[in-house]
């Protein structure tokens, strides 16, 4: 086991669809790239072979870790996509139950499972399920806002720190913050951004320009504000005052 110290959160950017996206995000200092599979009708949806191509392209940069982002609710289909693409991190971005997490954990024991918790009208929809998700094998929770019409994912709507700070206090595993994160939003999270359990931030809308494509200036502004340190360098740091995270095998991060 390695004790890991993060000076800044990891930066994840979601929805790459081309090798040029991967190059832009890697050059911009991003740590994790979200690749969609099983997001029906989504503009960044990838068939399995493209998922595998882009995952390989991300790994080949030496700094970008691919994350499968999915609405799928079938553990075997998710595990098959992970096996096919070689992706070890998965973001369950919908209302998949703890039983699915448990089944996926059995199929992929070394995977890093991120489970999204949705916040609507200031309340976490899955609040009562948090202990069950932890027992089922979730590694990290991802906090995101539900859109005004029930939209899930890429709402561009900011979470209020006061809505989630108590929620985070009851968790036994790390969390990633999402929902309208941009280069100016860090001061809105004075407590969460220094919380020992905060593993990273996840961004879609604010990484893009007016044309909907990733924009290198927007990505550079996110990196400057939120961090995005190379994981390999982070692993070598030992700063007593930084937030500690324990890293087990490659890709498995636990508190
Ligand atoms: O980006 C999407 O459209 C998307 C689709 C399906 C699942 C997740 C998706 N994105 C996630 O949305 C949040 C926050 O996005 P934003 O910065 O508020 O636009 C983030 O967790 C993305 O992974």
Does residue 6 lie in a domain region? Answer: no
Does residue 149 lie in a domain region? Answer: yes
**Total of domains in the chain:** 1
Q: pLDDT tens, 55-96?
A: 999 999 999 999 999 999 999 999 999 999 999 999 999 999
Any residues with Cβ below 6 Å from ligand 1, and which?
Answer: 14-15, 34, 39, 42, 69, 93, 142, 144, 153-156, 178-181, 202-206
State the distance from the centre of ligand 1 to the C-alpha of 153, rounded, in angstroms. 4
Does residue 128 lie in a domain region? Answer: yes
Q: pLDDT tens, 87-104?
A: 999 999 999 999 999 999
Q: pLDDT tens, 171-215?
A: 999 999 999 999 999 999 999 988 999 999 999 999 999 999 999
The percentage of residues in the chain with a pLDDT greater than 70, rounded to a whole number, is 86
Task: Inform me whether the pLDDT recorded for 28 exceeds 90.
Answer: yes
Q: What CATH number does residue 213 fall under? A: 3.20.20.70
Residues 6+ apart with CB under 8 A from 29: 11, 219, 220, 223, 228, 229, 230
Does residue 244 lie in a domain region? Answer: no
Does residue 3 lie in a domain region? Answer: no
In degrees, rounded to 5, the angle at the alpha carbon of residue 50 between the alpha carbons of residues 46 and 54 is 105
Q: Give the relative orientation of helices 75-85 and 48-60 as an angle to the nearest 10 degrees.
A: 50
d(CA 129, CA 170): 12
Does residue 179 lie in a domain region? Answer: yes
Q: Which ligand 1 atom minimizes the distance to the CA of 142? A: 21
* Residue 21 DSSP class: H
Pocket test for ligand 1, best of 69, 70, 201, 213 (most atoms within 8 A of CB): 69
> Which pLDDT band, with edges at 50, 70 and 90, does 243 fall under?
very low
Does residue 55 lie in a domain region? Answer: yes
Which range marks the domain in which residue 76 is found?
11-228
d(CA 77, CA 16): 21
**What are residue 86's phi and psi, to 5 degrees?**
75, 15
State the distance from the centre of ligand 1 to the C-alpha of 69, rounded, in angstroms. 9
Q: What residue's CA is closest to ligand 1, atom 1?
A: 154
């Amino acid at each position: 086991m390695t004790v890991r110290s993060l000076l800044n959160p990891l930066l994840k950017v979601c929805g790459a669809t081309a090798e040029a996206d991967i190059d832009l995000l890697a050059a911009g200092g991003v740590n994790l790239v979200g690749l969609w599979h099983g997001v029906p009708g989504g503009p960044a949806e990838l068939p399995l072979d493209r998922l595998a191509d882009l995952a390989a392209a991300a790994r080949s940069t030496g700094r970008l870790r691919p994350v499968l982002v999915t609405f799928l609710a079938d553990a075997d289909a998710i595990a098959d996509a992970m096996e096919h693409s070689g992706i070890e991190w998965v973001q369950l971005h919908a209302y998949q139950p703890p039983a699915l997490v448990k089944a996926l954990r059995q199929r992929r024991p070394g995977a890093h499972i991120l489970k999204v918790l949705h916040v609507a009208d200031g309340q976490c929809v899955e609040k009562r399920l948090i202990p069950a998700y932890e027992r089922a094998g979730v590694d990290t929770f991802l906090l995101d806002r539900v859109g005004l019409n029930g939209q899930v994912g890429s709402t561009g709507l900011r979470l209020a720190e006061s809505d989630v700070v108590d929620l985070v206090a009851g968790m036994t595993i790390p969390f990633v913050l999402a929902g309208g994160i941009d280069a100016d939003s860090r001061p809105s999270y004075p407590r969460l951004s220094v919380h020992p359990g905060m593993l990273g931030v996840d961004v879609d809308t604010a990484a893009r320009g007016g044309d909907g494509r990733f924009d290198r200036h927007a990505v550079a502004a996110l990196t400057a504000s939120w961090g995005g340190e190379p994981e390999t360098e982070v692993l070598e740091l030992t700063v007593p005052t930084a937030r500690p995270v324990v890293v087990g095998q490659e890709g498995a991060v636990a508190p």
